[in-house]
């Protein structure tokens, strides 16, 4: 795991790098793309949950009592629709007890402005950690808008998990929400004139759902 200034952590585990290489490849079809996305999300959340608060408990094994621990607060996973859905199952496989909310945002292709069309969160979301998930952190506009919505709902412990980030998006998040930690599998070079990450992996939503 490689640390970067302020609120960015790039996860450089060899398994993540290997899977990211195949994910980026334009020859990877949507079925395999979905599988890889889910696998990488699971590997990433393992690292992102190292500091979760727990409390001690005692359980009874078939032979005797044993000390252990349980989570202190609920966990909520909130994908940004639609591409964030591709990461959700990989995270839930590791944390099946997590609750799930959704944020629907779309970007105007001409102005790059972000518009909200849906938001629904579990009532317990403000009580614990929220993992906001989206494969791409490009301009940062969607992530900033999503964190704004979560904070308006009372959430304070928010972490963003994305597969690929552009420096422009990271800076936008740092400027707007320096308290929100960003975890990514790759920090790429930058954005093109259409706001796509370079080298990136293309349109994640299209590649997940086979609409390209």
Predicted confidence (pLDDT) at residue 5 exceeds the cutoff of 60: no
- State the pTM of this model: 0.90
Other Cβ atoms closer than 10 A to 49: 16
What is the rounded average pLDDT of the residues 58-63? Answer: 96
Q: Given pLDDT bands bounded at 50, 70 and 90, which one contains residue 75?
A: very high
7-14 mean pLDDT: 92
What percentage of the chain has pLDDT greater than the value 90? 78
Q: Which of the four pLDDT bands, split at 50, 70 and 90, describes residue 122?
A: very high
The second-level CATH assignment, the architecture, of 2-53+71-209 is 3-Layer(aba) Sandwich (3.40)
What is the reported pLDDT for 111? 73
Between CA 168 and CA 128 the distance in angstroms is 29
Over the chain, what is the mean pLDDT?
A: 91
């Amino acid at each position: 795991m490689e640390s970067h200034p302020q609120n960015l952590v790039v996860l450089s585990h060899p398994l993540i790098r290997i899977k990211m290489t195949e994910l980026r490849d334009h020859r990877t079809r949507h079925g395999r793309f979905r599988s890889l996305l889910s696998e990488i999300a699971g590997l990433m959340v393992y690292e992102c949950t190292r500091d979760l608060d727990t409390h001690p408990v005692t359980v009874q094994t078939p032979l005797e009592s044993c000390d252990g621990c349980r989570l202190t607060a609920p966990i909520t996973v909130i994908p940004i629709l639609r591409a964030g859905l591709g990461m959700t199952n990989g995270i839930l496989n590791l944390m099946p007890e997590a609750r799930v909310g959704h944020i629907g945002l779309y970007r105007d292709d001409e102005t790059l402005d972000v518009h909200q069309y849906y938001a629904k969160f579990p009532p317990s979301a403000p009580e614990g950690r929220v993992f906001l998930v989206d494969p791409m952190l490009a301009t940062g506009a969607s992530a900033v808008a999503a964190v704004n919505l979560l904070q308006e709902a009372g959430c304070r412990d928010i972490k963003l998990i994305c597969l690929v980030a552009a420096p422009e998006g990271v800076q936008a998040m740092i400027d707007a929400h320096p308290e929100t930690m960003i975890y990514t599998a790759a920090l790429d070079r930058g954005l093109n004139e259409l706001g796509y990450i370079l080298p990136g992996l293309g349109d994640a939503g299209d590649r997940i759902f086979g609409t390209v």
